[in-house]
Amino acid sequence: MTLDTIKPYLGSIDKLSSTARDDKGREYVQPALKNLGSVAIPLIREVIAPASFRNADPEITDILDLDGTRRVRAVANKFKYGERSRGLQVLRYFGAGGSMPQNRTAFASGDRPSVAYDLNTIVFGDSANHGNRVLPVKAAAQYSDAVSIQPYTDCVDTSFHNRAAEDGTLFDAEAKKNSSNIFERHVLLPGTLLVQTISFNGRTAPPIAIEHLLLAIGLAGAYGGQTSVYGVNVRNHVGGIYATRFERDVASPYVALRKVRERTGDRPALEDVRTALTGAFSDAMPIHVSGGEVHQLQMQMIEALESNDAEMRQRYTEAQGSIGEFFDHWFAGFGSK
């Protein structure tokens, strides 16, 4: 299975840049100009072990939806961070990027941008200092909030946590008193379903960027900061890939949530949500790849990665060559054009 159906709504790996002229007639390189094309990927995030999505407050982040019901709201970075991290690991595995740790991109004087910028940069974005310049790259993948289908009160509880000493007690031998490292945290209960969308607009991302994102989503599963250290706590379900010439409001999770609830109510089963999402997105964006086909593609890519498939490794290597050249020309004028 390939993404041929939606290719007319995506960019090209061979046309990541365009040239323009300044007022003195000098040519310079810039990212390819945006064109009409929008691709949306609806996701169902199924909580399968206690997961915590919060900011500085101890409670789970919440929001009132369009109908005034309090719901869980996980901001975009709560999922994007884990998937960006997995994407870096994939690039390192194939020797096609991932040379810098996440959120620690740094250039030495004279470094080409391609030393650090790669396919992950195209998909998830980045920004770093290079001498006295800043090299900003806007993410092609636009993550929305993830919003719970169930009301907040139905899917949030607390869990007990303590940080015991090595001997299994809470006694602090140095301070000669019991430890205070004991508290409750708010968590999402297993069975909670959240709706999120990821959009690619303007035909700036090539097909391999979509494939790389789908692979990262298929391989990730530990989310939520504090609770991510306990292992996989979220199962990801892709509801298909939908395309049209320009954005539709169903790509907002709040609009998508309302359409799902109109079909299923507040406490639906996973399959009911999947069916409702398919109907809502198909009505608005008729060009699509079904969720079943996307799942099949993800499984094929995971199997190819697990078996160290030579063709997949070559595709990543070739893509990094084109992407590296693009960044070198755009930001620094390295190489020849």
Mean pLDDT of 1-28: 88
Cα 230 from Cα 79, distance rounded (Å): 16
C-alpha dist (Å) from residue 95 to 254, 286, 312: 39, 38, 12
Per-residue confidence (pLDDT) for residue 90, from 0 to 100: 97
For the record, the structure tokens of 320 come out as 């990094």
Q: Is the pLDDT of residue 337 over 50?
A: no
Mean pLDDT of 67-96: 93
The model's pLDDT over 209-235, given as tens digits with 9 standing for 90+, comes to 999 999 999 999 899 877 777 789 999
Cα 186 from Cα 205, distance rounded (Å): 38
Classify the C-alpha dihedral 219-89-143-50 as positive or negative.
positive
Residue 208 exposure: Cα atoms within 13 Å on the Cβ side: 23
Residues 6 or more apart in contact with residue 31 via CB below 8 angstroms:
16, 17, 18, 204, 330
| Higher per-residue confidence, 248 vs 164 | 248
Per-residue confidence (pLDDT) for residue 265, from 0 to 100: 75
Contact 107/115 with Cβ under 8 angstroms? yes
Contact 136/118 with Cβ under 8 angstroms? no
Work out the percent of the chain whose per-residue pLDDT is above 70: 90
DSSP bridge pairs for 200:
39
Average pLDDT, the chain: 89
What's the whole-model pTM score?
0.90
Per-residue confidence (pLDDT) for residue 172, from 0 to 100: 67
Q: Is the pLDDT of residue 334 over 70?
A: no
Cα 296 from Cα 302, distance rounded (Å): 10
Strands (E), the chain: 17-21, 27-31, 38-47, 62-64, 70-74, 126-130, 133-137, 142-143, 146-151, 156-162, 171-172, 177-178, 182-188, 193-201, 234-238, 241-244, 287-289
> What residue has token string 């993830």?
146
Q: Nearest to residue 47, comparing CAs of 301, 236, 276?
A: 236
Which region holds residue 103: left if phi is over 0, alpha if psi is between -120 and 50, else beta? left
Helices 291-306 & 310-327 angle (0-180, nearest 10):
100
Q: 3-class SS at 196?
A: strand
Neighbours of 103 (CB within 10 A): 10
Per-residue confidence (pLDDT) for residue 210, from 0 to 100: 97
Work out the percent of the chain whose per-residue pLDDT is above 90: 68
Helices (H), 188-288: 207-219, 253-264, 270-284
Mean pLDDT of 29-40: 94
Contact 289/5 with Cβ under 8 angstroms? yes
The model's pLDDT over 178-209, given as tens digits with 9 standing for 90+, comes to 665 555 678 889 999 999 999 999 999 999 99
C-alpha dist (Å) from residue 233 to 102, 136, 148, 307: 21, 32, 15, 26
Cα 21 from Cα 173, distance rounded (Å): 70
Per-residue confidence (pLDDT) for residue 9, from 0 to 100: 97
Cα 319 from Cα 215, distance rounded (Å): 15
Helices (H), 207-252: 207-219
Contact 207/37 with Cβ under 8 angstroms? no
